[in-house]
Amino acid sequence: MKRTPLNIYVITFCMLIFTCSVWGQMVVSGRIVDSQTKEPLIGATVVVKGSTVGDASDTEGHFKLKIYSNRLPTLVFRCIGYNEVSKELTSQSPLDLGIIELQPSSVGLNEVKILASFVNKEGEKPVVVSTISANDIETKLSNQEFPEIMKMVPSVYVTKQGGGMGDARINLRGFGSENIGLLINGIPVNGMENGAVYWSNWAGLADVTQNIQVQRGVGVSKLGIPSVGGTVNIITKSVDAEAGGSIYYGMGNDAYQKLSFNVSTGLMKNGWALTLAGAHTQGDGYVLGTNFEGWNYFVNLSKRINADHLLSFTAFGAPQWHNMRANKQYVKDYELNKDGIRMNTSYGYLNGKVLASAGGYNEYHKPQISLNHFWTINERSTLSTSVYLSKSKGGGRNTYGKSFNDRKILQFDSENGQPFAQTLLTPDGLLDYNGVMETNKATGGASQAIFVMGTNAHEWYGLLSSYTNNFTDAFHFTAGVDGRYYKGYHYQKISDLLGGAYYKDDKLAYRNPGIELKEGDKIGYDNTSHILWTGGFAQLEYIQPAYNAFLSLSVTNHMYKRKDPGMYGVFSSDKEKYPISMKESDWVCFVPTTIKGGFNYKFGGIHNVFMNGGYVTKAPTFDGVFAAKDNVKLEHLKVEKIGTVEIGYGLHTRGFSLSLNGYYTKWMDKTFSQKINFQYYSVPGVDALHKGLELEVAYRPFASLSFGGNFAIGDWKWTNDVIFLERNEEGNPTGKEKNAYLKDLHVGNAPQTSGALYATWEPFPNFQIGANWNYFGRNYANFKLEERDIETDRSDSWRMPDFSTVDMNMNYRFNIGKLKANVFGNINNLLNEKYIADALDGKEHNKETALVWYGFGITWTAGLKVAF
């Protein structure tokens, strides 16, 4: 037998190694773009199917993937908001795959983003933005409040306040929601009377949101909205491009349960498409006595008429009811109470069921309906128009009596968290409703203390239209109109006579005081607010490969009128003070303006520097104008003036981004609103200064691993002393002026130092784990105007203890036959950190005299989603 020479084996072995190395060291590259706009998709991923080997696209959409394999793989391209694409490599495939186009998963999404002034690419505009994807919301939000997903954004603080479902409060750069512009699909939704945002009205947003973009500072929104701190752009899903749907079931701590569904026809051949979504959520609440139930629905019907016209009809809402804490307590009260930080003094039991008292119950339904038309006039110009309406009803429970002392038997003192001497309590320290009912029955049928619902309903109609013309490749012009009409209904109605047969009340001027009132009858007050808002805006943008600049101007006419047949009428007890001729106020008008601009310069391919600034005049709110709750305009009203400037630097490379910015915002003649001794005060002429630095970093070394963080430090203070008019318990001025020494006090309930770290890792295919760490420090308690009347007391408010929390999340994607499934798990506040989230300063400016709300301890959820 002839032997094969050794050198033949060596040569053969080397050839095999060479062949394997050829296939094992492939470097595949390409560029991932939006199939419609051809814009690069940043952060899109390409992975080898069945592995965690992959890469993420850079700021221009480019990717470069090294493949170590002796077999030709299949590549999977993914990007949030786009349909997944698979590409099987063959021996004929070039190593440069060229352009990979991903189809948007929703019809009309790009058109909505244009209307909403959504920034698609970091480092392109002279503003700072942070974008949160639908995947982040789905995997990280869990059973937290919807705005809590934004706590990973620099200078954002979110607290649950009273702990009821939807009662979250958001703060950005030291500004509350009344000074943060909230847009949903480009439509402004801040309250028309006070600018506030009540998140319980939007509890269903988490299920239908495609993106959240926080534009800090001036932003690029063209509307004349009250966005002193920044703008939150929420883009909901439109119609799914492909037919299908999903169903989800989740459970969590304290009997939390959620069931939701989503179904879509996809874009059909006739151009029509329909998407429906809905959910039901309920639970007992982390804080005792804060059980809740909510529904939400979403409908989008779209018609692609032709290549130039798209019609889209959207309706969504979230009817709900929930209980909450109404009163803050002293720290010692929590420490001594058997329920600890879960303590709640705003409820009791009646017939074995939880019944919340004054300020402890809310119900509301605020649907929003819009019809959008997107028209591509020609290759350079477009017109986007949205007609919308919102018609809401709901309110909160309160107590009512012939005098303030009568209603005290049903509530605690919100000024100190303690029961009144008249408060009826059970041996367990809860409100004693049986005792209240016995008291009412003992009067012979006439209730002395009852429950009423303070109703706030409204009708809101709006038109928003924006025309864009790209005169040249460099100059882009946008102009439009923003018109709104709002009518708010405010009244109380009897909701429970609590054992009595009737109630008599002489407060409504149009009603004979001798009438016996029953449940459902109006009582106490009955008035309407009318707001007419008309405005125009224009923006010119200059775009070059290395430069981007914009100049924006808006002018708005605010008109306020108040009608009050409940106070001014034929049966009025004080006809001189409340004559029937004053039943309707005159129109009160303000014309605020906004001018802002910015300049961005890109250099070196990966760097950019920018500067922006603006000057804003802001009209007092409706509640500030009619602060006394009558038809008399508050005296000495001033238009608020805000000047702001910001500079920043950005670095964006493959898988890495960094942004650093500093801001300076001067607020002059702000109307300071606060509730003192159960009455609201509006104090004009207050000045404030907000300045700070923000750093945000993100790094994605592999497609399977990403991490980042942020750090923000601010200095937010009131800068002058003011004088205000004292009011009594009935809300009437006493004629006595009081001083409030506010100069150099820090803005309350807004952590002035914050930081965050996060990481997401896919250790093996389809299994993902993540962790978020948040830190908040230098958080000062809010203060009472009435307790800042000593000139020699310049002490700052009590500084709450710094705290940090850790949240964990995981999800695993798998198949059930031909169905795609995803299982989720979340643990929030993993280390069970005990922290104070909100506080009201006491007379001694220390822990012992402050009233506080604690944040939640450890909570969890688990859920399963099946897509078809």
* DSSP 8-class letter at 152: G
* C-alpha to C-alpha distance for 751 and 763, rounded to whole angstroms: 35
* C-alpha to C-alpha distance for 288 and 283, rounded to whole angstroms: 11
pLDDT tens for 600-623 read: 999 998 999 999 999 999 998 998
* C-alpha to C-alpha distance for 561 and 569, rounded to whole angstroms: 18
Q: Which domains are present in the chain? A: 6-103 (2.60.40.10), 107-236 (2.170.130.10), 239-867 (2.40.170.20)
- Per-residue pLDDT band for 284 (boundaries 50, 70, 90) equals very high
Using a 10 angstrom Cβ sphere, with 0-12 exposed, 13-18 middle and 19 or more buried, the burial of residue 566 is: buried
Query: Strand, coil or helix: what is 435?
Result: helix
244 against 574, higher pLDDT: 244
List CB contacts of 328: < 8 A, sequence separation 6 or more: 414, 417, 838, 839, 840, 851, 852, 853
* C-alpha to C-alpha distance for 574 and 432, rounded to whole angstroms: 37
Q: Give the pLDDT of residue 18.
A: 41
Query: In the chain, what is the greatest distance between 2 CA atoms, to the nearest angstrom?
Result: 129
Per-residue 3-state assignment (H helix, E strand, C coil) for 324-340: CCCCCEEHHHHHHCCCH
- Residue 470's H or E segment, with its range, is strand 449-470
* DSSP 8-class letter at 622: H
* C-alpha to C-alpha distance for 127 and 647, rounded to whole angstroms: 9
Region 466-476 average pLDDT: 94
Torsion of CA 639, 688, 553, 179, to 10 degrees: -90
Using a 10 angstrom Cβ sphere, with 0-12 exposed, 13-18 middle and 19 or more buried, the burial of residue 285 is: buried
Q: Is the pLDDT of residue 689 over 90?
A: yes
pLDDT tens for 534-570 read: 999 999 999 999 999 999 999 999 999 999 999 998 8
* C-alpha to C-alpha distance for 831 and 806, rounded to whole angstroms: 7
* C-alpha to C-alpha distance for 223 and 221, rounded to whole angstroms: 6
Q: Give the pLDDT of residue 109.
A: 77
Q: Which two tokens stand for residue 272?
A: 């029509």
- Of 408, 397, 398, 406, give the one whose Cα is nearest residue 440: 406
Phi, psi angle pair for 343, to nearest 5°: -60, 145
Using the structure block, give the residue that is written with the tokens 């054992």. Answer: 499
Region 229-238 average pLDDT: 88
- Residue 740's H or E segment, with its range, is strand 733-740
Strands (E) across 497-603 are located at 522-543, 547-563, 588-590, 593-603
165 contacts 280 by C-beta, under 8 angstroms:
no
Q: Give the pLDDT of residue 737.
A: 81
358 contacts 242 by C-beta, under 8 angstroms:
no
* C-alpha to C-alpha distance for 460 and 443, rounded to whole angstroms: 44
- H runs (alpha helix) in 90-240: 109-115, 134-140, 205-208
- Of 790, 679, 659, give the one whose Cα is nearest residue 725: 679
Q: Is the pLDDT of residue 484 over 80?
A: yes
pLDDT tens for 435-452 read: 999 989 888 889 999 999
Mean pLDDT (the chain, rounded): 90
- Per-residue pLDDT band for 713 (boundaries 50, 70, 90) equals very high
List CB contacts of 352: < 8 A, sequence separation 6 or more: none
469 contacts 381 by C-beta, under 8 angstroms:
yes
Q: Give the pLDDT of residue 7.
A: 56
Highest mean pLDDT among 88-97, 208-217, 280-289, 731-740: 280-289
Q: Specify the pairing of strand 767-777 against strand 779-780.
A: unpaired
How many other CB atoms are there within 10 angstroms of residue 817's CB atom?
6
* DSSP 8-class letter at 565: T
Using a 10 angstrom Cβ sphere, with 0-12 exposed, 13-18 middle and 19 or more buried, the burial of residue 27 is: exposed
Region 679-703 average pLDDT: 88
pLDDT tens for 631-649 read: 988 877 888 999 999 999 9
110 contacts 36 by C-beta, under 8 angstroms:
yes
pLDDT tens for 729-760 read: 555 667 778 888 999 999 999 999 999 999 99
- Per-residue pLDDT band for 2 (boundaries 50, 70, 90) equals very low
* C-alpha to C-alpha distance for 451 and 445, rounded to whole angstroms: 15
How many other CB atoms are there within 10 angstroms of residue 128's CB atom?
28
Region 369-378 average pLDDT: 95
646 contacts 664 by C-beta, under 8 angstroms:
yes
* C-alpha to C-alpha distance for 577 and 776, rounded to whole angstroms: 50
Query: Strand, coil or helix: what is 173?
Result: coil
pLDDT tens for 818-831 read: 999 999 999 999 99
- Per-residue pLDDT band for 15 (boundaries 50, 70, 90) equals very low
740 contacts 706 by C-beta, under 8 angstroms:
no
* C-alpha to C-alpha distance for 272 and 267, rounded to whole angstroms: 6
- Of 559, 471, 523, 550, give the one whose Cα is nearest residue 219: 550
* C-alpha to C-alpha distance for 804 and 161, rounded to whole angstroms: 17
How many other CB atoms are there within 10 angstroms of residue 39's CB atom?
12
Q: What is the pTM of this model?
A: 0.90
**Type of residue numbered 768:** Q
- Of 153, 43, 63, 108, give the one whose Cα is nearest residue 300: 108
- Per-residue pLDDT band for 159 (boundaries 50, 70, 90) equals very high
Q: Give the pLDDT of residue 857.
A: 97
Q: Residue 545's Cα: distance from chain center in Å?
A: 34
